[in-house]
Each structure stands twice: as C-alpha cells, then as structure tokens.
C-alpha cells in the first residue's frame, strides 16, 4: 500500500477520485479549482516545443546519415497511414452497427449555431490544402516556439538536424550543446510532472462540477460506443501489431500506467511526451528512432481522433435523419485522413477537425456538431489515451524500431516483464551506464 501511495500513479489516482467527489458534492468549489488543471497544462506546454526540437535534432544527428533518417521517417509515415485508416474504418463500422444517433430526431432549426463559430473559423484552414501546407512553415524560427505549434517546430527541427548531420564534425560542439540542453529541459519536465496530482485534481473537479454526473445521459450511448471502439482498437488491432513485433500490448500498457493515469486526468498527452520518450529509450529502443518517430506521430498518428471522426460524423447523420450512402462513408474516411493531420494545438481540436471534415461532405449538416459539444470532454479522455503518444505512438515506435533493428529485444522483454534490475528510475543520475543498454537513459 505504501508503495502505491508513494508512486506517481498512486497519487494521480487518489487525486482523480478526490476531484470527482469534490466536483459532485461541491460543484461551485470544484469549478473554482480549474486553474490547477490549466496551470499544470500551461507549465507542460511551456517546455514541449524546446523538448521536441532538441530530441528531433539529437535523433537526426545521432542517426549518422540522412538516408537512415529518411528511411525511418518513411516507414513511420507508412505505418501511421495504415493504422489511421484502420482506426477510421473501426469507428465507421461500430457507428453503423450500433446506430447511437438513431431515434434522436433532431430538428436543425432548434440548434444554436453561435456555439460553433470559433471552431468553424479554425476549420477553414484545414480545408484549404495550400493554406495548410503554408501554415506548417513558421514565419520565423522563434515564432514557431512562441506559438507552441509543434508541427512548425518539427519542420524547423528537421531542417536544423539535417544541416547538423551534413556538417558532421564541424558542428560537433553544437550537437553536444543541444544534447546537454535537452537534459536540462527533461529535468525541468521532471519537476513539473511532480505536480501532476494537483493538475488532475483541478481538471477533474472542474469538469464534474461543471457538467455533473448526469451530463452523460442524453449522449451516453455515443460515449459508450466510442470507449468500446478505443478498447477494441488498442486490445485487438494494436495487440496484434505488438504481437507481430514480438511483444505484449498488455505489458506495455502496464509499463506506461503512470503516464496513462496523467492523461486520464488532464485529457492531454502533452504532459507525458518527455517521460514516454525516456521510457522507450530505457526499454532498449535507440534514441535516434525515438527522437524521429514520437514527435512525428505527435501530429500525424492520432488514432483516437481517427476513430472519433467517423463515429461522430455518422452519429450526427443518424441524429438528424440524414441518409448516408456508401460513397458518403468513403468520402468521410478519405477526408478524415487529411483533416486529422497536424491539427494538434488548435483550440477545441476534435470539434475543429470534425467541422473541417463535415464541410467537405455537403450531405451532413455541420450544425449537427452542436449535439456533441456537451460530451466532448468525456470522449476526449479516451481520445487522448488512445492517440497517445502513450499507446498508439509507443506501439508505432516499437514497430519501426523492430523494422529497423533499432531495439534491444532482450532488454525490452526484461523491462516489460518488470525485472527488478531493469526497473525504470525517473531520476537516474548516470543513465548511460545502466546494465545491458549503452546510452539508454531516464529522467
């Protein structure tokens, strides 16, 4: 029991329960705790950009040559597209079979369009392909970090890392400096993560106080179907993928339980990005592969969003009695493959992507998005956990590492089996000298 209470996972779970109780019994007080959650997320976002930059640049520099970088990147993108398509199809099939929106008989004239104005404005940029491509190019390098646009930071980091790789020994001092700088940012993140229980407490108390336990009644089936879809995707699709790679999805989930609990409470995967990368390296995955796949997947491998996109689109069509043809369903999947890319960091992300998707499909009314606004936070929990960084992108990193032979299989198995000698230690002072894996390190 004492081990549970002393662990980050234990403290986060306790904070989660306390937050629900406070929000349910004292809703006004629970809503007043919102700054705790917002403050924690702001602290995380403060260092995410620099961390992604340092990790990508260091990964490209340590890869040795740009051919390997390109090969790893191409394999990652191929994997992302295949798995994202599977996620989209799963969402569509389950929505079609369970029919969560049938019987609502919503009259569009009774919906309030004003609540969608902010989201539809952001959605316009996702529909315009040229505009989207221009948007991922920062106005200045500093501007990308100032805005916290991860995709723009990623573009600059790839260019910077490519230049360092080509310069070789001439840029050795810069490479070493960036590696040391990344250690500083990871140490800062270690400080911030200790505040996770407070962040979870504030976020959960506010949400429970704001919406109440009864807020799921009207759209409960949609929420249940979505959670079932995510469960099916993780423990069937990703489980098969992991098994083909030679590992167990259940052991990976157990290994990442602390990160999952933080995402569960904050509904954001930002908070666990650095810790996840360190844990994958500790498992035996080469830092160059981790440094390329995880940040790329951060914007391009949104499995949870992909499931939600097709599920929500079909739900809206059913709720508004809008007939959908097979052609419409195919268009939904194809458009979603584009609109889901690189949208991380946009306010109201899921609603924005849905607005962009529906705008490209005239048969389905965009105004129907008002129906799912009340439960967006609740489905956001499963979206964040499934998107992950914590699950989807970790599996992607393991698969690409196996594909590239960039993983120490023996070490990975011992780490996932919770071998005491290979237990992850967040504050290991000399990570480069851990047994069995030169260069693997933790926070």
The pLDDT tens digits for 396-431 are: 999 999 998 999 999 999 999 988 777 786 644 344
Contact 151, 342 (CB under 8 A): yes
Q: What is the pLDDT of residue 345?
A: 45
pLDDT tens digits along 198-252:
887 887 788 677 766 554 454 567 778 888 888 888 899 999 999 999 999 999 9
Query: What DSSP element (H or E) covers 2?
Result: helix 2-6
User: According to the model, what pLDDT value does residue 415 have?
Assistant: 92
Q: Is 433 exposed, middle or buried (0-12, 13-18, 19+ CB in 10 A)?
A: exposed
Report how far residue 395's alpha carbon sits from residue 392's, in angstroms, rounded to the nearest whole number.
5
If you write DSSP's letter for every residue of 295-322 in order, what string do you get?
HHHHHH--HHHHHHHHHHHHHHHHHTT-
pLDDT at position 238:
92
Helices (H), 343-406: 349-359, 376-387, 392-404
What does the pLDDT look like over 254-266, one tens digit per residue? 998 888 877 776 6
Residue 378 pLDDT class (50, 70, 90 cuts): low
pLDDT in tens, 387-401: 544 688 899 999 999
How high does pLDDT run on average in the chain?
A: 75
Write down the pLDDT at residue 57.
83
Q: What is the mean pLDDT of residues 134-154?
A: 79
- Regarding pTM above 0.75, the answer is no
Share of the chain above pLDDT 70, in %: 69
What is the reported pLDDT for 247?
95
CA atoms within 13 A of residue 347's CA, in its CB half-sphere:
8
Domain 2-422 annotated CATH 1.10.3860.10: yes
- 96 vs 45, higher pLDDT: 96
Domain ranges of the chain: 2-422
Reference 59, options 390, 401, 384; nearest CA is 401
pLDDT score for 208: 73
Place of tokens 């490519």: 162
Give the least confident one: 183-187, 347-351, 391-395: 347-351
pLDDT of 284 above 90: yes
Going by pLDDT thresholds of 50, 70 and 90, the confidence category of residue 443 is very low
Q: Phi/psi zone of residue 301: left (φ > 0), alpha (ψ -120 to 50 degrees), beta?
A: beta
Helix axis angle for 409-416 and 273-283, nearest 10°, is: 120
Beta bridge partners of 285: 407
Specify which residues 407 forms β-bridges with: 285
CA 253/CA 272 separation, integer angstroms:
14
Q: Does position 360 have pLDDT exceeding 70, yes or no? A: no
């Amino acid at each position: 029991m004492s081990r549970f209470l002393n662990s980050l996972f234990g403290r986060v779970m306790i904070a989660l329960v306390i937050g629900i109780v406070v929000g349910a019994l004292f809703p006004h007080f629970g809503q007043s705790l919102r700054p705790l959650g917002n403050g924690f997320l702001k602290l995380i976002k403060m260092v995410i950009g620099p961390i992604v930059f340092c990790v990508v640049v260091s990964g490209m520099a340590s890869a040795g040559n740009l051919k390997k970088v390109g090969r790893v990147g191409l394999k990652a993108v191929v994997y992302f597209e295949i798995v994202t398509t599977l996620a989209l199809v799963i969402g569509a099939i389950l929505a079609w079979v369970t029919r969560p929106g049938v019987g609502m008989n919503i009259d569009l004239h009774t919906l309030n369009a004003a609540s969608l104005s902010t989201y539809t404005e952001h959605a316009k940029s996702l529909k315009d392909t040229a505009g989207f491509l221009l948007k991922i190019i920062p106005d200045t390098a500093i501007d990308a970090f100032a805005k916290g646009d991860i995709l723009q930071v990623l573009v600059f980091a790839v260019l910077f890392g490519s230049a360092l790789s080509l310069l070789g020994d001439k840029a050795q001092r810069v490479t070493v400096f960036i590696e040391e700088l990344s250690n500083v940012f990871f140490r800062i993140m270690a400080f911030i993560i200790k505040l996770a229980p407070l962040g979870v407490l504030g976020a959960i108390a506010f949400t429970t106080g704001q919406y109440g336990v009864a807020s799921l009644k009207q759209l409960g089936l949609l929420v249940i179907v979505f959670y079932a879809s995510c469960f099916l995707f993780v423990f069937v699709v990703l489980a098969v993928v992991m098994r083909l790679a030679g590992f167990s999805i259940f052991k990976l989930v157990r290994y990442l339980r602390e990160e999952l609990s933080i995402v569960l409470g904050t509904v954001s995967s930002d908070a666990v990005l650095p810790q996840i990368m360190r844990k994958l390296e500790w498992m035996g995955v080469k830092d160059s592969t981790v440094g390329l796949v995880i940040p790329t997947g951060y914007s391009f491998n949104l499995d949870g969003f992909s499931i939600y996109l097709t599920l929500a689109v079909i739900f809206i069509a059913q709720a508004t009695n809008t007939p959908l043809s097979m052609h419409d369903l195919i268009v939904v999947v194809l458009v979603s493959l584009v609109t889901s890319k690189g949208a991380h960091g946009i306010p109201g992300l899921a609603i924005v992507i849905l607005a962009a998707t529906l705008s490209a499909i005239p048969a389905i009314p965009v105004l129907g998005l008002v129906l799912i606004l009340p439960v967006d936070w609740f489905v956001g929990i499963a979206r964040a956990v499934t998107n992950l960084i914590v699950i989807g992108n970790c599996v992607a990193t393991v698969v690409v590492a196996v594909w590239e032979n960039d993983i120490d299989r023996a070490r990975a198995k011992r780490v996932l089996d919770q071998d005491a000698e290979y237990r992850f230690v967040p504050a290991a002072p000399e990570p480069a000298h851990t047994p069995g894996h030169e260069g693997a390190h933790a926070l």
